[in-house]
Structure 1
């Protein structure tokens, strides 16, 4: 368990769901971009999703993460 996710189940200790970072598979959103309130308004996520090359790199990273967790 980490300090951002003390319960270890994808939820805050209060029971609220924690949004996942779409750019770091398996990690919760840490609000690393100033002004962002979650992945839905994160400028870094927007830039990656709008760029075809970066989006393809992200797909490869996500596939590698899924393969590593399935094994």
Structure 2
């Protein structure tokens, strides 16, 4: 989580509905992603939090993408 401002899903959802700048959503660890990509980002989407008490937090990229797109794009 490379030092950017984090936005919640609700805030990002509102931004997607407007005529603002383009949005790039990157899934996975970001391994191999140039640091400059994150440094240029105005915001980062908050991480998906685990409800587990022990803090275990692992999702497949497919599951993370499904949760993210559901939270951002499903009709309300």
> Taking structure 1 as the reference length, what is the TM-score of the superposition?
0.27
Name whichever structure is richer in strand by fraction. 2
Greater RCO between the two (CA within 8 Å, min separation 6)? 2
Select the structure that is richer in helix: 1
